[in-house]
């Protein structure tokens, strides 16, 4: 019995020795990789064989886990490269090469033949003879009527009231079942030059018939621009701290990135809503910024804190416009003459193609 026990004991010792010899290279590898004194092994980096695709993993949980590990590995490699380049730039100092311009959708924009050249004689002639020429020649001053769809709700009503504080010499009229073609003759008889109609969908502002310019000779509409409204926020719903209410001073106008012939006419349309001479003492600015055919409206007050720093305070409201159609001639939603119509299936095939 003792001999048998000795044999079994020797077998156990041999097994322990084998395990110890097998575990020694692992411990040394962990020590080389930078294991802590407590013996906790750090998580191993995700190593994938060449030609391996995570989509080939059938188990959903395992596939998600491998994907997150791969993303973490990509972030670590990107951060390491970024730190290395930063150290090289600090070492070179003034001799460091200029930073490369990152590729964006805006700077990779597809070339458009209709981009306006300020020295083009044809563009100058069109501006001198278009429907906004009387405004830019200071022959007329704008007087705007702001109205809504039938039976508007609270958010639409508040947006109209706040627009009347932003646009000088504007008046709000609430429609009560009155057709738009009946409103136009009344506007002309009361010397209104422009009409803005704000529609709503699900109790929120959804679309804007902006800058419906009226013609005095015959009761026709010269130009109608239909916009889709999104992200309309009023004074009380702004996500940042709001300052004092807007004053009655005439604001300055900033039109940014309206480069094509279509964008040029839309920019002139927005500019002609405001009077000619802004009152700089009010320090108020209305901005129409076009980016990827989305027109962002912001209303700010500024103050010069120093020669290089400017403080900006948002007054509101804010909203985003997307041009859907541009109609010229007599106002007719069905049989009118459209100068430009947005067709998503034909025009939105390329993300780098813009029209404004």
Region of poorest pLDDT, from 174-178, 252-256, 295-299:
174-178
Q: Looking at 80-84, 164-168, 216-220, 257-261, which range is the least confident one? A: 216-220
Whole-number pLDDT of residue 196: 85
Same domain (yes/no): 156, 90: no
Let me know whether 88 and 185 are in one domain: no
If asked whether residues 96 and 130 sit together in one domain, one would say no
Are both 83 and 183 inside the same structural domain?
Answer: no
Task: Using the CB atoms, write b or e for 244-278: b if 16+ within 10 Å.
Answer: eebeeebbbbebeebbbbbbbbbbbbbbbbbbeeb
| Number of domains observed in the structure of the chain | 2
- Confidence tier at 223 by pLDDT (50, 70, 90): low
Give yes or no: residues 83 and 195 share one domain. Answer: no
pLDDT tens-place string over residues 88-109: 888 888 888 888 888 888 888 8
Mean pLDDT lowest among 124-128, 155-159, 191-195, 227-231: 227-231
Q: What is the pTM of this model?
A: 0.70
Structural domain contains residue 207:
yes
Is the pLDDT assigned to residue 118 strictly greater than 60?
Answer: yes
Does residue 136 sit within a domain?
Answer: yes
The predicted-structure confidence for 279-288, as pLDDT tens digits, reads as follows 999 899 999 9
**214 shares its domain with 258:** yes
Q: Over 70: is that where the pLDDT of 240 sits?
A: no
Across the chain, mean pLDDT equals 77
């Amino acid at each position: 019995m003792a001999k048998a026990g000795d044999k079994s004991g020797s077998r156990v010792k041999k097994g322990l020795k084998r395990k110890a010899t097998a575990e020694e290279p692992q411990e040394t590898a962990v020590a080389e990789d930078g294991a802590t004194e407590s013996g906790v092994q750090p998580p191993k980096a995700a190593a994938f064989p060449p030609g391996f695709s995570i989509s080939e993993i059938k188990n959903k949980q395992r596939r998600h886990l491998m994907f997150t590990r791969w993303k973490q590995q990509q972030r670590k490699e990107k951060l390491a490269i970024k730190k290395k380049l930063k150290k090289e730039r600090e070492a070179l100092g003034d001799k460091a090469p200029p930073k490369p311009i990152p590729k964006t959708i805006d700077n990779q924009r597809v070339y458009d033949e209709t981009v306006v050249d300020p020295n083009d004689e044809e563009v100058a002639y069109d501006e001198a003879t278009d429907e906004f020429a009387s405004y830019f020649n200071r022959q007329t001053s704008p007087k705007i009527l702001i109205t809504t769809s039938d039976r508007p709700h609270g958010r639409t009503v508040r947006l109209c009231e706040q627009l009347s504080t932003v646009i000088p010499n504007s008046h709000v009229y609430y429609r009560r079942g009155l057709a738009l073609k009946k409103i136009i003759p009344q506007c002309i008889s009361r010397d209104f030059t422009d009409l803005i109609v704000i529609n709503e969908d699900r109790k929120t502002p959804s679309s804007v018939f902006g800058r419906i310019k009226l013609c005095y000779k015959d009761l026709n509409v010269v130009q109608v621009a239909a916009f889709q409204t999104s992200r309309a926020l009023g004074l009380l719903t702004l996500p940042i701290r709001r300052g004092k209410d807007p004053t009655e001073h005439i604001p300055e106008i900033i039109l940014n990135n309206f480069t094509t012939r279509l964008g040029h006419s839309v920019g002139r349309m927005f500019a002609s809503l405001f009077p000619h001479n802004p009152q700089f003492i009010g320090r108020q600015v209305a901005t129409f910024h076009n980016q990827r055919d989305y027109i962002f409206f912001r209303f700010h007050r500024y103050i010069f804190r120093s020669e290089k720093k400017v403080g900006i305070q948002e007054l509101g409201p804010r909203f985003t416009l997307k041009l859907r159609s541009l109609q010229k001639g007599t106002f007719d939603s069905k049989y009118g003459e459209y100068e430009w119509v947005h067709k998503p299936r034909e025009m939105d095939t390329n993300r780098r193609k813009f029209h404004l």
